[in-house]
């Protein structure tokens, strides 16, 4: 009897993953590149449709990923040891799901084998964002969206 090997995300902790495995967990949804508001009384996060200036609205990928930290002052780099930063990620995010002991969703490219399923499942922000240069900070509340679960 031949048994299939389990995928790396089912056999390794986030800390045990190689840099390539870690990066491959990103499903390309672009949700982490949206401006977020936090209610300081409740600690709840609210996503807006206002995107980082480096987000490509069509591909849902960073236009300058290698230099994003130098170019965007509040860009966060996720790491396996920074789990305190995972709470602002949407519940659909692979990093957050795996950190909470959940498996990847069917539409995740690592599961489906197709990078477009994240868009077909309407998980991505493709063609649903406004550039941050077009929205004054004091108007962010007007751009809160309900199509992202937290």
Q: In this predicted model, what pLDDT tens digit does every residue of 91-120 receive, in sequence order?
A: 999 999 999 999 999 999 999 999 999 999
- H or E stretch at 45: strand 45-51
Strands across the sheet with 34-38, in order?
Answer: 34-38, 45-51, 130-131
Round to whole Å and give the CA distance between 69 and 90: 21
**pLDDT one-digit tens code per residue, 8-57:** 999 999 999 999 999 999 999 999 999 999 999 998 889 999 999 999 99
CA dihedral (59, 60, 63, 65) in degrees, to 10, reads: -120
- Choose among 92, 89, 85, 80: nearest CA to 36: 89
Model's pTM, two decimal places?
0.89
- H or E stretch at 20: helix 19-24
Q: How many CA atoms lie within 13 A of 25 on its CB side?
A: 27
- Residue 130: predicted pLDDT: 96
CB 145 within 8 A of CB 47: yes
- Residue 3: predicted pLDDT: 62
CB 98 within 8 A of CB 9: yes
């Amino acid at each position: 009897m031949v048994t299939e090997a389990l995928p790396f995300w089912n056999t390794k902790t986030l800390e045990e993953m190689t840099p390539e495995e870690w990066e491959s967990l990103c499903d390309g949804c672009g949700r982490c590149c949206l401006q977020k508001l936090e209610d300081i009384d409740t600690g709840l996060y609210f996503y807006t449709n206002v995107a980082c200036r480096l987000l490509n609205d069509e591909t849902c990928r960073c236009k300058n990923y290698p230099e994003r930290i130098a170019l965007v002052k509040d860009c966060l780099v996720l790491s396996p040891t920074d789990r305190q930063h995972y709470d602002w990620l949407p519940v659909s995010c692979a990093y957050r799901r795996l950190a909470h002991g959940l498996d990847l969703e069917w539409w995740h490219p690592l599961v489906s084998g197709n990078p477009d399923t994240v868009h077909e499942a309407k998980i991505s922000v493709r063609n649903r964002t406004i550039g941050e240069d077009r929205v004054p900070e004091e108007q962010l509340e007007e751009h809160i969206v309900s199509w992202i679960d937290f």
